[in-house]
Amino acid sequence: MKKYLYMFIATLALASAAFAVDSQIWGEMRIQNILGYGQEESLKLGPLFTMLQHHYFAWIFLGILIGVPGAFFLHYKIIGPKVFPHSEKKYYAFNLYNRIIHQIAAISFIVIVPTGFVIVFGDFFGGGMFVRFCKNLHGLFTVPFTIVVIPMALMWLKEALFNLDDVKWFMILGGYLSKEKKPILAGKFNAGQKMWYWVAILGGITMILSGAFMFFLDFKMEMLHNLTGMSQIDMLRAAAIIHNVMGFAVVALFITHVYMSMFAIKGAVQSIITGYVEEEEVKILHSTWYKKLKNQGKF
Amino acid sequence: MEYARMKFYCDEHRCIECDGCSVACAEAHELPVGIARRKVITINEGIPGKEFSTSIACMHCTDAPCEQVCPVDCFYIREDGIVLHDKEKCIGCGYCLYACPFGAPQFPREGIFGAKGAMDKCTMCAGGPLETNSEKERHLYGQNRIAEGKVPVCAAMCSTKALLVGDSESVSAIIRTRVSSRAKGASNPLVWDKAYKNQ
Ligand code: HEM
């Protein structure tokens, strides 16, 4: 027993000693990293990241944080929400599995997005304990999202493929610019929802990967180095840039998603809670789907 | 009053890769295992005539990019040009490392998730924002030798005096003298000329 304990301690000690030598950033690789900075043939990611983070990222996030909800506030005041009567007829559109997967992703995003903003505006919050706590939550809630992102991608893939209805949907912006209630061409998901699907799934995976790079920082993936021809530090710089730029899209569409389900279409959020969609709502906002369901005798 | 800017300079003609500077630094500041604020690197290793060693740490850049990218603004640049940071403000995001040309910032792992802890880097032996020479300052940032009027420990310990530190003008002056006297005198028989110039 004692023998194993000693072996365990020895392994730990060796692992920490090896850390310094094998390091992709502070070990032998450091020379390559230094020489790569700002050299003619290099990607100049160091100066690029410095410039973007110093001058632009926080301002763009601020613009999105104010601009997107601002536009929706005006939309709500001028055009107003769509209200559909509660009918007797409902259709069971999301089973328990769909709802659980979605809810796990939803909770993850509700934590990840605000904590992301706290990090971006870390100086406003004074840094220290609170921002550090948010950084840890940001990383922690990436775990449940990572678990559900693939199941979510698979369960809605068929409905999220773009088709001709979507061109027409985009031309009238889904009818959200008018108060009229006339049937809009769309399947189970309309073009806007499909767009959110792709940004949440592909963008989400990009956020997970670039976030994981920044979390683990010092790791060795020979394959990735060979594939990209980049040094570890340049890959980290690229990850930081990608995490921010993709973050713009994820945040903008996340806010849109929340506005649509919570405010723009009254009661729409109920469908992902109970699983049932209202007939009226489907008839108007997803008319192609409605026809199909009607033919199948589902309504 | 215009303050002089403090700079490090490592004379690669003198550095013998003994690692004394980084050992002195680690010991003086009682750095944890895995953290090396200063490191000796050898460039063009094995290429005759081109190989040289130099000692690197935070270079206390005039336009410190770390300070530019920090999301919590934990960096501050002293009037003498020493770049320092507040570890109690730092959230360990890693941005300063991405901005740094020298890979100077390092992150000890902490907590049960092994997240990046507060950044650690060379302070030019000038401590941090806490009360000078307090126990807490020493614990977080290491010795504050500058406040005591001492030379940073790495340069003080350098056996060949390759590693220089001081206000940039004095350092340049020393380097200039060294360069202009190089390849002259008894130390270099290849260009030996007269034994007694005055005769
Ligand atoms: C699906 C969405 C997202 C995922 C999965 C994700 C994941 C992560 C992970 C794992 C990290 C590394 C955390 C660490 O180093 O401890 C990270 C860092 C970061 N994230 Fe995100 N993130 C997402 C969205 C966002 C958004 C929307 C923002 C901005 C509003 C944001 C801002 C940041 C920033 C500034 C960092 C760097 C600082 C740090 O490493 O702590 N992230 N992200």
pLDDT by 10s per residue, chain A, length 299 = 555 555 544 444 444 444 445 688 888 778 777 776 766 667 889 999 999 999 999 999 999 999 999 999 999 999 999 999 887 789 999 999 999 999 999 999 999 999 999 999 999 999 999 999 999 999 999 999 999 999 999 999 999 999 999 999 999 999 999 988 899 999 999 999 999 999 999 999 999 999 999 999 988 888 888 888 888 999 999 999 999 999 999 999 999 999 999 999 998 999 999 999 999 999 999 999 999 999 998 87
Nearest residue in A to B32, CA atom:
A16
Residues of chain B with Cβ-Cβ distance to A50 below 8 Å are 65, 68-69, 99
**Residue B160 in this model has a pLDDT that exceeds 60:** yes
Per-residue pLDDT of A167-177, as tens digits, reads 999 999 999 99
**In chain B, where do the E strands start and end?**
6-10, 39-43, 52-56, 75-77, 83-85, 109-110, 115-116, 163-167
- C-beta neighbour count of A181 within 10 angstroms: 14
Q: According to the model, what pLDDT value does residue A7 have? A: 52
In a domain, A221, yes or no: yes
Q: Which residues have CB under 8 Å from B189's CB, separation 6+?
A: none
In a domain, A21, yes or no: no
Contact B91 A53 (CB under 8 A): no
Tokens standing for residue A116? 């992301």
The parent domain of residue A209 ranges over 86-94+148-295
CATH of the domain at A260: 1.20.950.20
Scanning A41-190, the segments in alpha helix (DSSP H) are 45-55, 57-78, 96-120, 128-140, 142-160, 164-171
- B60, B168 in Cβ contact below 8 A? no
In a domain, A66, yes or no: no
Residues of chain B with Cβ-Cβ distance to A25 below 8 Å are 97, 103
Tokens standing for residue A120? 């971006």
Contact B72 A214 (CB under 8 A): no
Average pLDDT over residues B156-178: 93
Task: Write the residue in B88, B102, B115 that is nearest to A128 by C-beta.
Answer: B88
B56 phi and psi, to 5 degrees?
A: -125, 150
Nearest residue in B to A37, CA atom:
B101
Q: Please give the distance, rounded to the nearest whole angstrom, from the Cα atom of residue A26 to the centre of ligand 1.
A: 24
Contact B56 A136 (CB under 8 A): no
**Residue B65 in this model has a pLDDT that exceeds 90:** yes
- A238, A230 in Cβ contact below 8 A? yes
Q: According to the model, what pLDDT value does residue B180 have? A: 81
SS3 B79: coil
Q: Which atom of ligand 1 is nearest to the CA of B94?
A: 40
Q: Tell me the C-alpha to C-alpha distance, in Å, between residue B101 and each of A224, A285, B56.
A: 22, 54, 11
Contact A16 B106 (CB under 8 A): no
In a domain, A280, yes or no: yes
In a domain, A217, yes or no: yes
Q: According to the model, what pLDDT value does residue A229 have? A: 84
Number of domains chain A contains: 1
Q: Which residues have CB under 8 Å from A156's CB, separation 6+?
A: A189, A197
Nearest CA among A40, A38, A34 for reference residue A49: A38
Q: Tell me the domains of chain B and their CATH numbers.
A: 6-194 (3.30.70.20)
In a domain, A109, yes or no: no
Angle at A266 between CA A262 and CA A271, to 5 degrees: 75
In a domain, A216, yes or no: yes
In a domain, A44, yes or no: no
Residue found under tokens 């010991």: B27
Q: First vs last Cα of chain B: how many Å apart?
A: 50
Q: Which residues have CB under 8 Å from B179's CB, separation 6+?
A: none
**Interchain CB contacts (distance < 8 Å): A and B:** 112
Contact B101 A35 (CB under 8 A): no
Backbone CA torsion sign across A178, A183, A186, A187: positive
Q: Tell me the C-alpha to C-alpha distance, in Å, between residue A293 and each of A169, A184, A187.
A: 20, 15, 10
- A253, A195 in Cβ contact below 8 A? yes
**CA B137 to mean position of chain CA atoms:** 19
Q: First vs last Cα of chain A: how many Å apart?
A: 68
Residues of chain B with Cβ-Cβ distance to A236 below 8 Å are 94, 97-98
- Best residue among A146, A209, A241, A243 to mutate for probing ligand 1's pocket (most ligand atoms within 8 Å of CB) is A243
Residue found under tokens 């320092």: B84
Q: Which atom of ligand 1 is nearest to the CA of A119?
A: 35
Q: Please give the distance, rounded to the nearest whole angstrom, from the Cα atom of residue A256 to the centre of ligand 1.
A: 20
Element (H, E) at B42: strand B39-43
Task: Write the residue in B69, B101, B106 that is nearest to A34 by C-beta.
Answer: B101
Q: Please give the distance, rounded to the nearest whole angstrom, from the Cα atom of residue A139 to the centre of ligand 1.
A: 7
Residue found under tokens 């001058």: A55
Nearest residue in B to A130, CA atom:
B91
Q: What is the DSSP string of B182-199?
A: TT-STT-GGG---S-TT-
